[in-house]
Structure 1
Amino acid sequence: MRRLIRPALSGLLAAAGGIATAELVASLVRPESSPLVAIGGTVIDATPTPVKEYAVSTFGTNDKPLLIGTILVVLAALAAAVGVLAVRHRTAALLAIGALGLVGAAAALARPGARPLDALPSLLAGAVSAVLLAWLAPKAVTAPPPPSPVPAPDSAAGTAATKPWTPSDPGAHAGAATPQHPEAATATPPGPETTAAPGRTGRRSFLVAAGLVALGTALAGGLAAIIRRSGAQAADEARGAITLPAPADPGPPPEQTPGFYTPNQDFYRVDIALTVPRIDPRQWSLQITGMVDRPVELSFDDLLKQPLIERDITLNCVSNEVGGPYVGNARWLGVPLAPLLRAAGVQAGADQIVARAADGITIGTPVATVLDGRDAMLALGMNGQALPLEHGFPVRMLTPGLYGYVGAAKWITSLELSTFSSFDAYWVQRGWAQMGPVKTASRIDRPKAFAQLPAGTVTVAGVAWAQHRGISAVEVQVDDAPWQQARLLPVPSTDTWVQWVWDWPATTAGNHTLRVRAVDSTGAVQAEQRADPFPDGATGWQTLAVTVT
């Protein structure tokens, strides 16, 4: 087993050097062309929906680092195996490690919006890995020990102790000593240098080579990290330099109730981007094409010159479980989308807006939901700032009343007027519903599940939402007692969540169960039956257990 350590290490080092080279080149060409990002994106695309949902619900925003870590572990195992293979089948091993580069190149070219140059980092990774393995593999093979020398006799005549006995020896029965073979008599025991030198030399040669490769890998990886950090800083600086105009149609005075707005840094993030797109707003443009009379191209400055609206809108992900965290409320600043579409001239029969984004995703939004009077917009600002990079800078789309997967594309680059019958967007291709109206939902934020509560009046509070329909009532139930009406705090429109509060006279010690349900403005009561998010959003009342002491 010890004889395999050096070959396995040679494979790991060769692969690490190739990946570091690829990351360096990708940082100069396009971060999305990184083989890790390309392969990771391909894995995400190929992952069955139930597995995706499990990853999102279990790991949250840590699902992406976990995926990259898993890919690295798999690559490390393959690289170690290739290093061992090189001991006996050098050519096959070189072809195998080079093939890993071809896999990365194929994944990069298969990504939506890929460019031919995106294959370069992966191809270089394969080539560099093969060259490094060819250099390290011969040094990784442990030389067999030299044959044991024949010991010299104690005297010219030899002794019975040093003479091997054979049945044919004439002196075997007489006990006489017979001189050994003449060559054996003149053999000279090797000195200590003769025995140790081959092993030491081979080990020293491998360690020097391995150290050089590790050093080069560290330098390339470090330089790639510096370049990417510089790119991120440049994007942050470009974002910070933007002065958002005052809205032509401002929103109402901001709500002062704590928790009504979700801070940008706490706003949930669910997307397929393994690396956040760094987009220079000076180079950005938006095309409105497809089934329109007059195709339009708009720059970021063009949008800033449009009359802007300011609105409070709650956004939530279709992956959100009952009582889950993937919902947030913010004050958004943006360009109304309906006037832009009307200026382009939407043709008869167009019923879908296909939004394409820099991360390669497509989102299909019903045309009717943009033209029916709701505040659908191209958002430029969030809570008084330019959009954060993680939330779609420089421009994202928002459609109140729709889950994000059908109405809220981030890093948007184009809008194509099309039909649902002719094109399925990214998530629809994976089994999610074409239409994604938000379902009525509610959540208990206080107290937390399994809380130990002192007897007395306990404040039970949370949020409820049914965007673009609004919430008319929230009710709370303790154990199997009658439902109690909660107090609703004021909201600026039906497009935001509603904060609610109920004072519970918790006088009975012991374990209790709290439930919540909401009623929307149409009078429809939130569905009681639990259903998973797939394929069109979760349903069910949130229930949690607490103890009164």
Structure 2
Amino acid sequence: MKTLEHDSVSTPRRPLRWLVAALIGVLAVAAALAVGEFVSVFTGAGSSPFLAVGNSAIDLTPEWLKQFAIRNFGTNDKLVLLAGMAVTILVAAVVAGLLSRRSPLPGMVIAAAFGALAVLAVLTRPDTDVLSVLAPLASLVVGVLVFRWLHGVAVDRLAAGSSEKDGLTRRRFLYSAAGTAVGAGVLGGAGTLLTGSSDIEASRAAIGKLTVRSPAPPIPASAGYEALGATKFITDNREFYRIDTALTLPRLTAEDWRLKIHGLVDNEVTFDFADIRGRELIEKTITMTCVSNEVGGPYISTSNFIGVPLRDLLNEAGVQDVGGQVFATSVDGWTTATPVRDMLDEKRGALLAIGMNGEALPLEHGFPARVIVPGLYGYASACKWVVDLELIRYCQKSFYWQDRDWAVEAPIKTQSRIDVPAGFATVAAGKVQVAGVAWAQTTGIAKVEIRMDGGPWQTAELATEVNDRTWRQWRAEVDLSSGSHRVEVRATDRSGKTQPQERVPPIPDGATGWHSILFSVD
């Protein structure tokens, strides 16, 4: 039997087996991704084809779907996205293989299309440059060539039929497939190891203890009702909520970090980490709230943040337009804009933070440095991994979430939440403790009320106020008989404003409504 020569359009006399065809697709994609990841070590993390497509998917995801992911998966939303992408790519690879049982052209076209998509994703990322395109281009070329090569080896195996060459061609395909798998694994592993070579945690650990000139006042025991099962007043770093658009955490050492302040200023200035740490650090107890927090939601936490007043840094640069905005950019290209007046407000106390609860900022919370502006939702103020502050005229530029129709300014709304009892819990009859938190950052909570089963409102006992930039805990005692009960809560801030009953979703400028839970009494 004449051996079938495989050129770019050769076709086996009979189609490849389903399993063989699918395996070719999967191995070609694995090789393409591995090469792309390896090259991205040298061209920048943002050039990773897999991550670039994932980040673009985040940017293009409809708002309702993003909120669905946050509500249902919380801080695991990015893990779900990555897993979903992996499954999608796997399915596409299998389909590419199955469509190519007779000819390699369909699979090569699909591989090229995926590579082109990655190239486009990298070119449109804000944290990439022209050189970054080398990673997805490498993926494209390798994906097409490996698919063509493996398909040709499989065609040779099929053409050999029952001849003496059958064993040789079978082994050749098996060795080729195994070699491709091992090569992809080695390159992928090398890329992972090299990506971690900057050793961010080592840089963070080397910072050591942060010496604070002006520590935050100790939290009095009377500031919370933890003994009742209520939320801890200070949130542990590991439990502090995290909502952002970073598919993978930016990797920037303290040694490499720089903050540039420019734009409508008298003097452009640049600070490095040593400059900031060498200043007189202050510590402030601040509650942060995410605009994605539904009524009664978990995306609110309190920490002792360490840093320097942003007011001082801006004044050193010389602000030219106090009615403008500070346009902040993260190292990964994410942007936000905050009114200059809020950053300069001494009472509000905006910080460039480098520490959190006595230690350097955790990587997921902005290491080496981040912006914190009390009283504003984070999407319009709290830039993590910040590297650039540009002073602009008001709305001269639009920022990430503004481009997606969120509000330009984002003052945190007065809200309250019930933590005890838990929803649908069963408690003993008699005197039942109800407790929770309320917040109106920079205004302060004046009163919290609860009502049982739609009855009259009763005023709750307020815990000691730490400051008007933090939440305030509350408790009430009610005498209840056996059965099912519903408790509602509402708060009134120091301006006299009581949170409205009407439920409003978080987007575009924060949720409103009374939180309520159902529970049972034995």
TM beyond 0.5: yes
Is 1:51 matched with 2:51?
A: no
2:49 corresponds, among 35, 51, 69, to 35
Instruction: Count the aligned residue pairs.
Output: 499
Q: Note if contact 1:7-1:141 (Cα within 8 Å) is conserved in structure 2.
A: no
Shift of 1:249: 2.7
2:181 corresponds, among 214, 221, 224, to 214
CA-to-aligned-CA distance 1:187-230 (integer Å, 9 cap, x gap): xxxxxxx9575665554432222111111112222222333344
Is 1:358 matched with 2:331?
A: yes
Instruction: Give, in whole Å, the separation in 1 of the partners of 2:196 and 2:253.
Output: 15
Instruction: Give, in whole Å, the separation in 2 of the partners of 1:269 and 1:456.
Output: 39
Shift of 1:139: 2.9
Instruction: Give, in whole Å, the separation in 2 of the partners of 1:195 and 1:87.
Output: 20
Instruction: Give, in whole Å, the separation in 2 of the partners of 1:145 and 1:212.
Output: 22
Q: Note if contact 2:279-2:308 (Cα within 8 Å) is conserved in structure 1.
A: yes
Partner of 1:123: 137
Partner of 2:205: 240
Alpha-carbon distance change, 322 to 314 in structure 1, aligned in 2, over 3 angstroms: same
CA-to-aligned-CA distance 1:44-66 (integer Å, 9 cap, x gap): 11111111111111111111111
Larger Rg: 1
Partner of 1:379: 353
CA-to-aligned-CA distance 1:96-148 (integer Å, 9 cap, x gap): 313322221221121112122222221111111122112100233497799xx
Instruction: Give, in whole Å, the separation in 2 of the partners of 1:447 and 1:7.
Output: 57
Instruction: Give, in whole Å, the separation in 2 of the partners of 1:97 and 1:346.
Output: 52
Instruction: Give, in whole Å, the separation in 2 of the partners of 1:11 and 1:145.
Output: 20
1:445-484 superposed matches below 5 A: 445-484=419-458
Partner of 2:218: 253
Instruction: Give, in whole Å, the separation in 1 of the partners of 2:78 and 2:52.
Output: 13
Instruction: Give, in whole Å, the separation in 1 of the partners of 2:74 and 2:33.
Output: 27
The worse-fitting range, judged by mean Cα deviation, of 238-247 and 62-71 is 238-247
Partner of 1:510: 483
Alpha-carbon distance change, 86 to 195 in structure 1, aligned in 2, over 3 angstroms: closer
2:123 corresponds, among 109, 130, 133, to 109
Q: Note if contact 2:210-2:359 (Cα within 8 Å) is conserved in structure 1.
A: no
Is 1:306 matched with 2:279?
A: yes
Q: Which amino acid aligns with 1:22?
A: G
The worse-fitting range, judged by mean Cα deviation, of 32-41 and 2-11 is 2-11
Instruction: Give, in whole Å, the separation in 1 of the partners of 2:384 and 2:360.
Output: 13
Give the SS at the match of 1:480.
Answer: coil
1:411-426 superposed matches below 5 A: 411-426=385-400
Give the SS at the match of 1:69.
Answer: helix
Partner of 1:434: 408
CA-to-aligned-CA distance 1:380-403 (integer Å, 9 cap, x gap): 110001100000001000001000
Instruction: Give, in whole Å, the separation in 1 of the partners of 2:410 and 2:49.
Output: 33
Shift of 1:246: 2.8
Q: Which amino acid aligns with 1:104?
A: A
Q: Note if contact 2:157-2:173 (Cα within 8 Å) is conserved in structure 1.
A: no
Q: Which amino acid aligns with 2:368?
A: P
Q: Note if contact 1:3-1:142 (Cα within 8 Å) is conserved in structure 2.
A: no
Partner of 2:192: 225
Is 1:68 matched with 2:116?
A: no
Give the SS at the match of 1:370.
Answer: helix
Alpha-carbon distance change, 225 to 245 in structure 1, aligned in 2, over 3 angstroms: closer
Q: Note if contact 1:28-1:227 (Cα within 8 Å) is conserved in structure 2.
A: no
Give the SS at the match of 2:17.
Answer: helix
Q: Which amino acid aligns with 1:228?
A: T
TM-score normalised by the chain length of structure 1: 0.87
Is 1:343 matched with 2:316?
A: yes
Partner of 1:399: 373
Instruction: Give, in whole Å, the separation in 2 of the partners of 1:476 and 1:197.
Output: 86
Q: Note if contact 2:289-2:299 (Cα within 8 Å) is conserved in structure 1.
A: yes
Alpha-carbon distance change, 7 to 346 in structure 1, aligned in 2, over 3 angstroms: same
Q: How big is the alpha-carbon RMSD for the aligned residues of Structure 1 and Structure 2?
A: 2.0
1:77 corresponds, among 66, 91, 116, to 91
Give the SS at the match of 2:262.
Answer: strand
Instruction: Give, in whole Å, the separation in 2 of the partners of 1:509 and 1:384.
Output: 46
The worse-fitting range, judged by mean Cα deviation, of 77-86 and 445-454 is 77-86
Q: Which amino acid aligns with 2:426?
A: Q
Q: Note if contact 1:438-1:466 (Cα within 8 Å) is conserved in structure 2.
A: yes
Q: Note if contact 1:6-1:141 (Cα within 8 Å) is conserved in structure 2.
A: no
Q: Note if contact 1:475-1:483 (Cα within 8 Å) is conserved in structure 2.
A: yes
CA-to-aligned-CA distance 1:424-469 (integer Å, 9 cap, x gap): 1100000100010000111111111100111122221111111000
Instruction: Give, in whole Å, the separation in 2 of the partners of 1:229 and 1:351.
Output: 39
Is 1:274 matched with 2:247?
A: yes
Shift of 1:30: 2.3
Give the SS at the match of 2:466.
Answer: coil
CA-to-aligned-CA distance 1:28-50 (integer Å, 9 cap, x gap): 44222211110011111111111
Q: Note if contact 1:380-1:393 (Cα within 8 Å) is conserved in structure 2.
A: yes
Instruction: Give, in whole Å, the separation in 2 of the partners of 1:349 and 1:546.
Output: 50
Give the SS at the match of 1:434.
Answer: coil
Instruction: Give, in whole Å, the separation in 1 of the partners of 2:155 and 2:479.
Output: 77
Partner of 2:4: none
Partner of 1:497: 471
